[in-house]
Amino acid sequence: MPVPVLPPSGPSWRKRQAHRQWLADQASDLFEFFQARSVNPKGGFLDLDKAGQPIDGNPVRQIHSTTRMVHCFAIGHLLGRPGSAEIVDHGMTYLWKHHRDPQNGGYVWSLDGERYRDDTKQAYGHAFVLLAASSAKVVGHPLADRLLDDVTQVLDQHFWEDEHGAVAEEFARDWSPVSRYRGQNSNMHLTEALMAAFEATGDKTYLSKAERIANLIIGRHATELGYRVAEHFDENWQLDKEYRGSDVFRPSGATPGHWLEWSRLLLQLWVLGDKRHAWMPEAASALFRQSIELGWDRKNGGLFYTLDWDNRPVLRQKLWWPCAEAIGAASFLLDHRPTDFHEEWYRHVWDFVASHMVDHQHKGWHPELSETLAPASTLFTGKPDLYHALQACLIPLYPSMGSLTRVIAEANREIRA
C-alpha cells in the first residue's frame, strides 16, 4: 500500500460517531475472541490458534500473557463487559499462587502446569506484573494491594539501578545475575506500568522513576541518534550496536514500533507530570515522524519490524503491534500536537489494519504478515495477544490524559455524577 493519496478532510475521524462505533465494535470482537476460550481451568491462560481454539500440546503459561489478560479484562470490567471480573480474578490468583516464587521472591517467567519451565526473573515480566496489579487495584480486586506492594518491593530491591535511573534486565531464580545486558524494551514497558501505578496509588515515586527512564532512553540516547530508539546496551548503558538476541524479543538493530510506543508514553508522562518537561511532546512528535519516514514500507504498506543502523529493513515482516502503537501514538498526538500529518496517518494506519491485519474470517488480528502482506508465522503463531490491538481500538475513544484504566474509570465517575 503506497503512502496516503487522500488528504484529511472534515472533522477528525476520532470525533465521528460512525468511526467511534466501528472502534467499539472492533474492541468487542477482540474481547469476545479471547474471552471465549483463553481461560485454562487448571490455571492461567491458553494460547489460541488463528481460529480461536486452544493450541494443543502447549501448556506453557508465560508471565506476560497472564498479566496482559488481567490488564485487558480489568478494562473490560470498567467498560461493563460481563465475565471480565472472573477473568481478572483467575489471572490474579495464578500470578500470586504460581508465577510468584515464595522461596526467593519475585515472579518466574513461565510455567508448565505446576512446574517452572523458565524460572528466570525478567524485568519485562515484572513490569507487566506491576501493570496488572495497578489495573486490578483500579477495579478493586482484593489481591491488588498485596501484589502491588510485593512487586514494587522486588523491583526496588533487585532490579532498580539508581545510578542509571533504569532497571537491570534479568536474574536467575536465586537472584544471581544472568548477564550484563541492559534493554530498553523492558524499561519502556516499566515506564507504562509505573505510570499506571502512580495513577492507581497517587505515589509520585512511581512517576519519578518513569521520568528518569524516559530521560535515559529518549532524552539521552534517542535524541543522540536522530530520534531512533536504541534497544540494546551494556551494564553501563553504553549502546551495543552489535547485539543480536531472539528475533521475537531482542532483535538486532532498531525497532520502529517501539519509537511509536514511546511517542504515546512520552505524551502520557508529560500530562501526568503536569506538563513540566517541555522536551517530551517535541520528542513524541519527532519519534512518530521518524517511525513513519524510515519504517513504513512505501511499496507494500505496513511497518517493517526492524531496521539496521543505516535505516535499511532487516526483518521485513509486518507485525500487528507496531500498527496498534502507531494508532495509539497518532491519537495522543492529535489531542496534544494536532496536525494534518497525524490525522492523515491515523486514518492511513487504520485503513491498513482493516484491510490486512483484521482477520475478518475468524476475528482477532493476524499477528504477522510477510513483506508482501500475506499472513505468515515465522515469528508468531495463532493469535498471541489481546493487549496491543485492544488498546488501539479504545485509546481513540477517550481523552489522552492517562492510561485506559484511569480515563475509563473517570468517565464512569462522571456518568454516576
List 64, 77, 342, 388, catalytic entry: 388
258 among known catalytic residues: yes
**129: part of which helix (H) or strand (E)?**
helix 123-138
Answer for the pair 140, 409: CB distance below 8 angstroms, yes or no.
Answer: no
Q: What distances in angstroms separate CA 60 from CA 64, 66, 118, 279, 342, one per listed residue?
A: 12, 11, 10, 42, 40
List 258, 336, 356, 366, catalytic entry: 258
Interacting residues of 260 by C-beta distance below 8 A, sequence separation 6+: 287, 288, 291, 322, 325, 326, 328, 329
**Closest by CA position to 359, among listed 380, 381, 378, 383:** 383
Interacting residues of 232 by C-beta distance below 8 A, sequence separation 6+: 181, 182, 183, 184, 239, 240, 241, 243, 245, 250, 252
Q: What distances in angstroms separate CA 111 from CA 124, 326, 335, 351, one per listed residue?
A: 16, 32, 41, 39
368: phi then psi, degrees, rounded to nearest 5: -150, 135
Greatest CA span in the chain, whole angstroms? 60
What is the separation of C-alpha 141 from the centre of its chain, rounded to a whole number of angstroms?
22
What is the separation of C-alpha 198 from the centre of its chain, rounded to a whole number of angstroms?
17
What is the separation of C-alpha 300 from the centre of its chain, rounded to a whole number of angstroms?
25
Answer for the pair 228, 167: CB distance below 8 angstroms, yes or no.
Answer: no
Question: How many residues are given for the chain?
Answer: 417
Residue with cell 463487559: 81
Q: In a 3-state reduction of DSSP, which class is residue 307? A: strand
Q: Which residues are catalytic?
A: 258, 388
